[in-house]
Structures are given as C-alpha cells and as structure tokens.
Amino acid sequence: MAKGTGLVHTAPAHGMEDYSVASQHDLSMDCVVDEDGVFTDAAGPELRRKAVLEEGTDAVIKMLQASKNLLKEETLVHSYPYDWRTKKPVVIRASKQWFVDITDLKTTAKELLKKVKFIPASALNAMVDTMDRRPYWCISRQRAWGVPIPVFHHKTKDEFLINSQTVEHVAQLVEQRGSDVWWTLPPEQLLPAEVLAQAGGTDALEFAPGRDILDIWFDSGTSWSCVLPGTDQTADLYLEGKDQLGGWFQSSLLTSVAVRKKAPFK
C-alpha cells in the first residue's frame, strides 16, 4: 500500500531505525532494560527484575490480557541476532557511550587523501564514501579486557572526571606498570590528592574508575605513533584488505590528522 494512515510501534531505545526516527521527532529515549537484559524499576512492579526475553515476555502478555488490550497472540519464526560466543539472543538497547565528533577531521582528512596513492585507485572513493557516512566515531566498548578509557565516575552523582591532569597521571602509571593498573590499583592511587586538587575534585573515594575500554580500531589506528620514528614521518606503505577502508586505514588517518594534521601513509 503506497498511501494511507496507520500506527507503527516504535521503541527508540531498542533499534537503530526507531532511534533515528525518535531523534528526528524529539521523542523520549528512556530505556527500561538494564545491561543484564532485565526490566528496571522504571518498568513498574509487575515487570521489575524480570528477564525481557523470558519471564518478562510472559508478564507483558498477562498484563495485556488483564487490561483486555491483547488482540492476538501467536508464534512467529523470524531472523534474530544471537551472540556468537554465548549462543544466546541479543537484547538491543540504547546505552551511554563515548564518541568522537569527526566532522572537522573528515574535511582535513579528505583533502590529505588526494595526495595519497591508492592501489587500486578506486579505493580512494570507497574510503571517502565510508567517511561521509560516518558523523561520529564510537570509541568505547564494554568488554572484559582492553585499553581502559581513563574516566572517573562519581559514585552518587551523574558526573564524570577526566582532564589533562588525570589522563597524564594515569598514562604515567600505565607506562611504568602496564595497563592493568586501571583494574588493580585503588582509586586513591589512580587519583592521588595532588592530581585530584588540580582537577577540581575533593575526595578520590567519591569516584570509581570507569569500566569502558577503547575501541580496538583506536588502538590499532594509533600504531603509527609507535612505529614511525618521528612526528613528521609517514609510512611508505599500509597494506591490508579493502575491508580496512572503513577500519584500520580510516582510524589511522583520523587519529593522525587529529594529532599531526597529516596522513600517516604515502
């Protein structure tokens, strides 16, 4: 049907298309499902702490039946995402992440790419196309191991602490003792009094180290800073498959442009 009027269910916190539409129309993005896939207190007493894909589903159906709002119930077989590690269904939900706004970086990066030799030459346009479709770079991940994002979160307030003083101190600790210090040292060592005072905080015990890690493409994308001998050096060759036009090639370019205003490769 090309024309007409209808109603479409939307869940802004549980799908990219829904989120996009909600963003355009300033709809609420409230998410009542936590990281464990269970309903939060905000979902109400009937659903609180119930797994959304298990007893939570049954509870919702019973609520609809009780209110006489259930028109029909049936089982459908359809495609659904599963986690490749646990083989369990994935609950898609909105969550807070860290992003880099690459709008300005893209402008400079695309100009610099005009001086880079691509083999084949068509790869240049493909790489530019992938950047044009990417307004932001989500640099945070929630995994068990990786390079930590050195952000401190207030334990009772929706506030976070990160600035040049805190980052420099954590960087020194990592250089001396490895990245595991973020997970093993107590807050008062990660955030000593003198650093906290410079950062404008009061008590290190009020903060907890964040659990997010960096996107692995940020890790690999900054490899030029370790491999190339000087800040003005560029690599003769970056060699990888075409899938890296949106991966390693691009993350290397964006990080190099951000720090050095130049491409890391010739």
Q: Which of 48-57, 116-125, 192-201 has the lowest mean pLDDT?
A: 192-201
3-state DSSP assignment of residue 39: strand
Say if 135 falls within a structural domain: yes
Phi, psi of 140 (to 5 degrees): -105, 145
Q: Which residues of 154-190 are buried (b: 16+ CB within 10 A; e: fewer)?
A: eeeeeeebbeebbeebbeebbeeeeeebbeeeebeeb
Say if 265 falls within a structural domain: no
Confidence of residue 204 (pLDDT cuts 50, 70, 90): confident
Q: What is the mean pLDDT of the chain?
A: 90
Q: Which domain holds residue 74?
A: 1-94
Does the structure show a pLDDT above 60 at 94? yes
Task: Read off the DSSP letter of residue 242.
Answer: G
Say if 252 falls within a structural domain: yes
Say if 144 falls within a structural domain: no
- Please state, in angstroms and rounded to a whole number, the distance separating the CA atoms of residues 241 and 44: 50
Q: Are residues 121 and 227 in the same domain?
A: yes
Does the structure show a pLDDT above 80 at 102? yes
Q: Are residues 167 and 135 in the same domain?
A: no
Does the structure show a pLDDT above 70 at 201? no
Does the structure show a pLDDT above 60 at 44? yes
Q: Are residues 105 and 191 in the same domain?
A: no
- Please state, in angstroms and rounded to a whole number, the distance separating the CA atoms of residues 117 and 119: 7
Q: Are residues 10 and 73 in the same domain?
A: yes
Total-model pTM: 0.80
- The two tokens of residue 137 are 């770079």
CATH of the domain at 90: 3.90.740.10
Say if 87 falls within a structural domain: yes
- Please state, in angstroms and rounded to a whole number, the distance separating the CA atoms of residues 203 and 181: 20
Q: Are residues 114 and 201 in the same domain?
A: no
Q: Are residues 90 and 7 in the same domain?
A: yes
State the pLDDT at residue 42: 93
Contacts of 136 (CB under 8 A, 6+ apart): 99, 100, 101, 102
Q: Are residues 165 and 222 in the same domain?
A: no
Say if 224 falls within a structural domain: yes
Comparing 191 with 151, the larger pLDDT belongs to 151
Q: Are residues 255 and 244 in the same domain?
A: yes
- State the total domains in the chain: 3
Say if 81 falls within a structural domain: yes
- Please state, in angstroms and rounded to a whole number, the distance separating the CA atoms of residues 47 and 63: 10
Q: Are residues 116 and 165 in the same domain?
A: no
State the pLDDT at residue 1: 54
114-161 residue pLDDT tens: 999 999 999 999 999 999 988 899 999 998 888 999 999 988 888 888
Confidence of residue 220 (pLDDT cuts 50, 70, 90): very high
- Please state, in angstroms and rounded to a whole number, the distance separating the CA atoms of residues 181 and 196: 18
- Please state, in angstroms and rounded to a whole number, the distance separating the CA atoms of residues 109 and 100: 15
Does the structure show a pLDDT above 60 at 264? yes
Say if 25 falls within a structural domain: yes
Contact criterion met (CB below 8 Å) for 146 and 214: yes
Q: How large is the average pLDDT for residues 36-55?
A: 94
Q: Are residues 133 and 159 in the same domain?
A: no
Q: How large is the average pLDDT for residues 51-65?
A: 94
